[in-house]
Structure 1
Amino acid sequence: MTDAAVGDRTLTRLGEQVGVLAHTALAAMERHEWYRELAAEHRASVALVAEAGIRGFRDWLADERESDRATTVFADAPPELTRALSLEQTIELVRVTVRAVEDAVPQLADEERERDRLLVATLRFSRDTAFAAAHVYARAAEARGSWDARLESLVVDAVLRGEATEDVHSRAAALGWGDAEQVAVAVGAPRDGLTEPEVVRAVRSACQKARLEALVTLNSGRYVVVLAEVEDPRAAGEVLATVLDAGPVVVGPVVPHLFAGGRSARAALSGWAASRAWPGAPTVLLASELLPERVLAGDEAARRELVRLVVRPLQEAGRDLLATAETVLAHGGALEASARELFVHVNTVRYRLGRIEELVALRLADSRDRWVLRTALAVHRIDTPRDSGWRSAVHGAH
């Protein structure tokens, strides 16, 4: 043939030896432990690729104008093979197969010039085949990336809804999150000038550097990030604040595992939505720091949490502390006036305020802490039944 790189006799011999050469290549592959450990169906697929490669080489030799022949080597291989074999292992398969053909050159070509042409052609075709393998793996990685993104979005959505079905378990396991622990959900706004893929890549990169696992999705105009291995939720929020808008980033409580993540997600979403009521808020906030704003927004869980964290400890410590807190707030922080109404010495009021700070970490000299305490007491008053002694139950006996 006028377009052939080698003579017809060589082509005929190569065609006759396709099966033998493929068998030789596979026998050489046995020295690799990873090949020996492949499942039977994957070994059969490897044999298919090796034979297709040699047959494709023969067809390409017959007419080099078929420049895309190398790309068809992997056409009949099942997609699962790209998951069973790494790109490095596939390139090793190409190398071993090419070596089998090279070793057989003296038997395939009679004349020295014919052998040289066959060797050069082998090198060219192996190069094209290696590029074809890289292309196949790139497409597979791209497809897996798209699928993983969809899967990630489904898992995050399930966390937001508080679902823990078998389907969710399976999807989480497919993403490597089946055993995720110390989970927290964070919410933040997108940064101006960045596309969604850019933000997602930036979040993942920042989390990876901080040794945090992250699932990221854009949900109703805000980014929801599910984090694992969280030791310090505020520090995790500061990592996200470097790539998200400082508007702020709100982090929910840390929960034991992914399937308890709904509680963290609800708190983070509620806190992020209510954070607009605190214009001077820090860049990173824990959802528990937004309890008053969440109460105003109608979050029942926040109402219960605020009473549990603030009012209950003061009640359990005795009525004096609750009454002192109410009185000091009513007098705008004036200690002398509060002491007169309580019929105690001003130093007693100072002592009780110190006890309040110890118990609930609120300083009445701080405007933000006064707001938290005032809201907690207001919720407590609303929730206290209005009976004949309701006022004394709220204020306490002096």
Structure 2
Amino acid sequence: MLGGMSAQQDQPAPGARRGVPGAPAAGDTDRARTLETLRSNIGSLSTVTLRRLDSALPWYRHLRPDERSALGLVAQKGIASFVTWYEKPGNPAWVMSDVFGTAPTELTRSISLQKALQLIRIVVDTVEQRVPDLAEEPEQPALREAVLRYSREVAFAAADVYARAAESRGSWDTRLEALVVDGILRGESSDSLRSRIAALGWSSKAEVTIVVGAAPADPHPAYLSGLRRTTTRLAEDTLIGIQGDRLLLLLGGLRDRDTALVKLAPVFGDGPIVHAGPAASLVDAGPAAQAAFSGLVAARAWPDAPRPVAADDLWPERLMAGDDTARRALVRAIYRPLTSASNGLLETLSAYLSLGHSLEATARALFVHTNTVRYRLRKVTDVTGWDPLVPREAFVLQTALVAGRLSAGDAAGDASAAAPAVRLPERAAL
């Protein structure tokens, strides 16, 4: 349609320029007559346009009545505004407010930009087809040229409407995302938090992993968009929070967890990276997020920590930094299972740690064979998940014993603390 119009414009008929600003006065009469005809045919043009929208655009027929009404109003305003513009062509800035009015919100929610341009094309094509009925032959080329110029201005105005709506949605989504992240960190579990999560479009039903680290010192302008592309390849859903110099990622449905965490390391700045979870859902991610932040603070006490490192691997450092959650976790996950176990696992572990990790010295102290000590230490690994033969894990186990013995509310811990300590024979000290 537009191609055909351009061809007609390339070879204008005589008098095609009459009726536009600067034209000879002889064309004023024809222009005035055309303008009067346009004004008297606004209603019929609107009716024909709405009929064509219904017949030519299948998606238009499937819209809700209120959406059809909003788009129909845009089409009618477009025709009425063309008449005004034809009378006084000038600065096109008014096109947006005059044609779209209060409709941008409804327009962008109802149809895509591509569909909006289809609608504009129908309106312009309807007016162009009626040119022979609206103007005398000498004035028809000028009217067609005016239709072309007007369609260009309306198309640019529509693109501007959608661009502004996208920017507004982007800014609102960023603020809403920050509110959701803040609510999760504060442990909020309200209906308002759930509604905000739904408004962000979070759809993952899988477990949530939290990753915390330093934000880049001087991020590139496209840093956030690149970060979202990276996380989209690794997880089903992502929330991003930048709080000062810290970057927080909440990842729903993380695929191939260990590999994905390593791939995420480059998006953070220098320093440790701590991950926690998985949490059952986004609403339940508060404790895991707090553990990750606690681990980030305590990680500097373990210079050789892997990057990224699990918050649970930092239990000793977190406990020493004053994190009571880490103390309770050590007692619950390590000390209590050992006190409940048989075969003297707690006593064997305590002696092994106290005697410099020596199997022979532990066997002499307990009056058992060295293989018995090895067996019991393997059982400690089975019960707790931590291997006392690995120096770092032995440190975690020793911290758990200290935390358990100091736990005033743990009856088993009190009983163990009250029990006589293992007395080493004189030869064991040699």
TM-score by length of 1: 0.91
Query: What does residue 82 of structure 1 align with?
Result: 108
Query: What does residue 187 of structure 1 align with?
Result: 212
- Shift of residue 34, structure 1, vs aligned partner: 2.7
Q: Write out per-residue CA displacement over residues 65-120 of structure 1, whole angstroms, 9 at most, x where no aligned residue.
A: 33435334223425232222211111111011111111111111220x43223223
Structure 2 contact 20–142 (Cα < 8 Å) conserved? no
Is 1:126–2:151 an aligned residue pair? Answer: yes
Query: What does residue 3 of structure 1 align with?
Result: 21
- Aligned partner (choices 190, 193, 211) of residue 168 of structure 1: 193
Distance 1:287 1:43, change over 3 A: same
- Shift of residue 35, structure 1, vs aligned partner: 1.7
Distance 1:319 1:292, change over 3 A: farther
Distance 1:394 1:97, change over 3 A: farther
- How well do the aligned residues superpose, as a CA RMSD in angstroms? 2.6
Distance 1:313 1:7, change over 3 A: same
One-letter amino acid of the counterpart of residue 66, structure 1: N
Distance 1:179 1:370, change over 3 A: closer
Q: Which has the larger radius of gyration?
A: 2
1: CA distance between counterparts of 2:252 and 2:173? 17
One-letter amino acid of the counterpart of residue 340, structure 2: E
- Shift of residue 291, structure 1, vs aligned partner: 1.3
Is 1:317–2:341 an aligned residue pair? Answer: yes
The 5 Å alignment of 1:298-377 reads 298-377=322-401
Q: 283-292 vs 237-246, which deviates more?
A: 237-246
Structure 1 contact 200–217 (Cα < 8 Å) conserved? no
One-letter amino acid of the counterpart of residue 57, structure 1: F
Distance 1:90 1:303, change over 3 A: same
1: CA distance between counterparts of 2:419 and 2:88? 100
- Aligned partner (choices 166, 169, 175) of residue 150 of structure 1: 175
Query: What does residue 47 of structure 1 align with?
Result: 72
- Shift of residue 19, structure 1, vs aligned partner: 2.2
1: CA distance between counterparts of 2:143 and 2:121? 16
Is 1:17–2:17 an aligned residue pair? Answer: no
1: CA distance between counterparts of 2:180 and 2:422? 48
Q: Partner of 1:252: helix, strand, or coil?
A: strand
Structure 1 contact 49–76 (Cα < 8 Å) conserved? no
Distance 1:199 1:250, change over 3 A: farther
Query: What does residue 230 of structure 1 align with?
Result: 254
Q: Partner of 2:272: helix, strand, or coil?
A: strand
Q: 356-365 vs 47-56, which deviates more?
A: 356-365
One-letter amino acid of the counterpart of residue 390, structure 1: A
The 5 Å alignment of 1:192-271 reads 192-194=217-219, 198-271=222-295
Query: What does residue 64 of structure 1 align with?
Result: 89
Distance 1:390 1:209, change over 3 A: closer
- Shift of residue 246, structure 1, vs aligned partner: 4.5
- Aligned partner (choices 107, 117, 123) of residue 97 of structure 1: 123
Query: What does residue 114 of structure 1 align with?
Result: 139
- Shift of residue 143, structure 1, vs aligned partner: 0.8
Structure 1 contact 183–230 (Cα < 8 Å) conserved? yes
Q: Partner of 1:254: helix, strand, or coil?
A: strand
Q: Partner of 2:241: helix, strand, or coil?
A: strand
Return structure 1 stretches of 4+ with deviation > 4 angstroms.
384-389, 393-396
1: CA distance between counterparts of 2:343 and 2:166? 65
2: CA distance between counterparts of 1:220 and 1:180? 30
Distance 1:216 1:171, change over 3 A: same
Q: 288-297 vs 3-12, which deviates more?
A: 3-12
2: CA distance between counterparts of 1:130 and 1:147? 26
- Shift of residue 130, structure 1, vs aligned partner: 1.0
Q: Partner of 1:30: helix, strand, or coil?
A: helix
2: CA distance between counterparts of 1:207 and 1:235? 13
Distance 1:128 1:180, change over 3 A: farther
Structure 1 contact 180–257 (Cα < 8 Å) conserved? yes
Gaps of 5+ in 2: 1-18, 24-29, 424-430
- The number of residue pairs the alignment matches comes to 396
Structure 1 contact 70–125 (Cα < 8 Å) conserved? no
Distance 1:393 1:95, change over 3 A: farther
Quote the sequence identity (%): 41
Q: Partner of 2:147: helix, strand, or coil?
A: helix
One-letter amino acid of the counterpart of residue 165, structure 1: S
Distance 1:319 1:381, change over 3 A: farther
